[in-house]
Structures are given as C-alpha cells and as structure tokens.
Amino acid sequence: MKHKISASLLVLILATAPAFSQQGNQAFPSSAFGNQQNQFPQAGGDNSNQQNQPQQSPAAQFIDSAKKLMGQGNYAQSKEALKTAIRVEPMNFEAWSLYDETVIADYIQQRRKEKLAPVIERDISPLFEITRVDTYIELDTLYVVGSLKNLSDKLKQKIRVTAKILDDSKKELRRQTGELNLTKRGLLPNESSLFEIPFKNPPAGAKSFRVEVTGFE
C-alpha cells in the first residue's frame, strides 16, 4: 500500500511541474522583455533639468544697459532704456525702482547745470511778461502752454509767440509760432491771455524749450 501511495504522489508532482514552470515564467519577465523596458527613457528626466534652469528676464538687457548709462552720468538715455524695460516687462520691480531713481538723478543734474551756467535775458523796459509756462504730451504731440501779459500802456495786436525746442547743448531743434487766444481785438494794457503751441511728433533729443514774443503791432 505504501509503494502505491508513493508512486501516485510522484506521478502527481511530475504532472504539475510543467504548469508551475510556465506560471513562473509568466510571473518573472524574461531578460529580453526587460531590455525592451530599458529602451524607453524615464519620464521627466529631461524636463526636470529644463525646469531647474533659471529663465532670463526679457527686460534684463535693458536694465543692464540703464545701469551702465547711470554709472556714466547719462540719466536721459538711462530713462529711455528703463522705459523699454518696463514696456516689455511691466511687473519688473527692479526696472520701476531704477526708473524712479534715474528721474530724480536727472532732475538734480539739470538743476546743477543751470546753477553752474545761469543765463538771464530780460528787457530793460519789458513790454510783455510770459508766465506759467508748461508742457504736456498728448497723441504724439508736445504742447507748450503759458500765459502772456501786456505790460505796456497801449493796446497790442497780432501778438505772435514762438516756442523753440532745444537739445542738451541748447541747440535749436525745431521752432513753432502760435498766437494768443485773444487774437481779434488784441491785448489791452495789463491784460493777460493764454497761448498753446503744438509740436507734432517732437524731435528726438529734445531736452528743454524757450518761449518768446517774436512779433506784434
């Protein structure tokens, strides 16, 4: 009886051995399949390197140029470079901060130049007085505005006011002549009138202006 049981177990083991071997092959992939998996790159390998690289600010080159110009004392061109930087990257706080600093430095520089080389030109007995002169830009047009007063004791008619646009060296770039708002009846003694002189597409390099009376009757 024992020999018959042992023979039966041996036959059962041999019969199930191939099936177990096939299941084992399916559970553990072959080396060939493993090599195919290694041929695929790991996801995110190249992208992680790209993400770690810092992105260049589009305004960086203009900010660097503005810093060099500031170091040279050329605040006017530095402002233009920073304007471009702000235009290409409006939320760049460094560009805004440098722009404010440049505007202040340029203002101080201009005031110092005026003190070092003051120019006062005045008539002994002036006929007119020009006051409240200012400028503003609208739709690519520079407007020179102000008020003119008749200081004489006579009526003055057909008064012509001329504005000149100057560069850094006080060289005239363009001039434009306008008339007072009160052009029909003229200007009575001690009477004032406003004037406005437009400059369409003002010239590049404009830094200052000068206003004077160039004609009257």
pLDDT digits (tens, 9 = 90+) for 175-214: 999 888 776 778 889 988 888 999 998 888 888 889 998 8
Residue 95 CB partners (closer than 8 Å, separation 6+)? 59, 62, 63, 82, 85, 86, 89
Quickly state the pLDDT bin for 134 (edges 50, 70, 90): confident
Greatest mean pLDDT among 110-124, 150-164, 172-186: 150-164
Percent of the chain at pLDDT > 90 equals 7
Give the model's pLDDT for residue 163.
92
Quickly state the pLDDT bin for 162 (edges 50, 70, 90): very high
Give the model's pLDDT for residue 174.
92
- Domains in the chain: boundaries: 60-116, 128-215
Percent of the chain at pLDDT > 70 equals 69
Q: Higher model confidence: residue 131 or residue 16? A: 131
- Residue-wise pLDDT for 33-85, tens only, equals 444 444 444 544 555 555 555 577 888 888 998 898 888 888 888 888 898 88
pLDDT of 10 higher than 70: no
Give the model's pLDDT for residue 24.
46
Q: What is the pTM of this model?
A: 0.43
Distance, CA of 126 to CA of 80 (rounded, Å):
40
What's the number of CA atoms in the CB half-sphere (13 Å) around residue 38? Answer: 7
What six digits make up the tokens of 3? 């020999």
Query: Is CATH 3.10.270.10 correct for 128-215?
Result: no
Q: Under CATH, which number does the domain 60-116 receive?
A: 1.25.40
Structural contact between residues 180 and 195, judged by C-beta atoms closer than 8 angstroms: yes
Tell me the average pLDDT of the chain. 76
pLDDT of 115 higher than 70: no
Q: Higher model confidence: residue 84 or residue 13? A: 84
